[in-house]
Structure 1
Amino acid sequence: MNITLKQAEAVIAAAKAKATEIKTLMNIAVVDAGTNLIAFAHMDDAWLGSIDIAQKKARTARYFNMPTGEIGKLSQPGGSLYNIEHSNGGLITFPGGVLIRNAKNEIIGAVGVSGDSVENDHLVAQAGADAIK
């Protein structure tokens, strides 16, 4: 099962609303279960360098079916996934990428957010993902 465009747009809308609420500017990427980009939003004046990061966060979360922040914990020196960020054409292993699940708890895609602190990136991404539940 894959996320639909309508669902992806709902994720974007919820993430943008959360970014506005916390007074930040974000890049928001939504990928389907196969990691194909379905929807993207670049809020006015958000960092250009974060466009690629948002997309990589979404793909990273889906590649390994876990939030990017969790992958980051495992990829520290001495960790079981040390240096994993060099695989798959480059991964992002800090918070801001989360899975999107449907009402049956099936993974249908992922959202990646970048543009502020990793804590705020994760908060905004989670708000987007929660719009589908």
Structure 2
Amino acid sequence: MQTKSYLTLSDAEFLLDTAHQYAIEHNFNVSIAVVDDTGNLLAMKRMDGASPMTANLCLEKAKCSAMSRRPSKLFEDLIKGGQMGFLTMDSFAGMLEGGEPIMFEEHLVGAMGVSGVKSFQDAEIAQQAIEKFLAQIK
């Protein structure tokens, strides 16, 4: 039997707070979601001024990243390249850049999704928070 690492609520709050602080420093109004390795919500934050639709988008991005174990940008690139077949609006929503997997010791422990600014900026916010999180646990 193997031991499994997982995100705690405290971990999710650290990730949210770190991403929130980064967004404030860059004058971004975003929604941020942290999910576990199965794509289920652990914690979420919608900043004042963030569009209501970003709340669902950040969660879908995080879920897509957790379930695929890859950044959601991979799917956005496939869609842009015409390599994805028919998609519903729900399935498409999570396939935009801004979802990032959280890997610890080569295992997925969760994912983070951000929505509210340009897609590459959403991803940047998540990447910065994940990088700081992983640095503080090592």
Distance 1:44 1:72 in 2: 27
Give the residue type in structure 2 aligned to 1:110: A
Q: Which of the pair is proportionally richer in helix?
A: 2
SS at match of 2:91: coil
Say which of 95, 98, 101 aligns to 1:96.
Answer: 98
Tell me the equivalent position of 1:67: 71
Alignment of 1:32-71 (within 5 A): 32-71=36-75
User: Which residues of structure 1 form unaligned runs of 5+?
Assistant: none
Q: Post-superposition shift, 1:53?
A: 0.2
SS at match of 1:44: coil
User: Which residues of structure 2 form unaligned runs of 5+?
Assistant: none
Query: What TM-score, normalized to structure 2?
Result: 0.85
Does the Cα contact within 8 Å between 1:100 and 1:132 map onto a contact in 2? Answer: no
Deviation beyond 4 Å, 4+ runs, structure 1? none
Return the index of the structure with the highest Cα Rg.
2
The answer as to 2:4 corresponding to 1:3 is no
Distance 2:47 2:106 in 1: 29
SS at match of 1:24: coil
Q: Post-superposition shift, 1:77?
A: 5.0
Query: What TM-score, normalized to structure 1?
Result: 0.88
Q: How many residues align?
A: 129
How large is the RMSD of aligned CA atoms in angstroms?
1.7
Tell me the equivalent position of 1:127: 128
Does the Cα contact within 8 Å between 1:14 and 1:128 map onto a contact in 2? Answer: yes
1:13-42 per-residue CA deviation (whole Å, 9 max, x = no partner) reads 110111011111110000000111001011
Q: Post-superposition shift, 1:127?
A: 1.4
Distance 1:99 1:17 in 2: 20
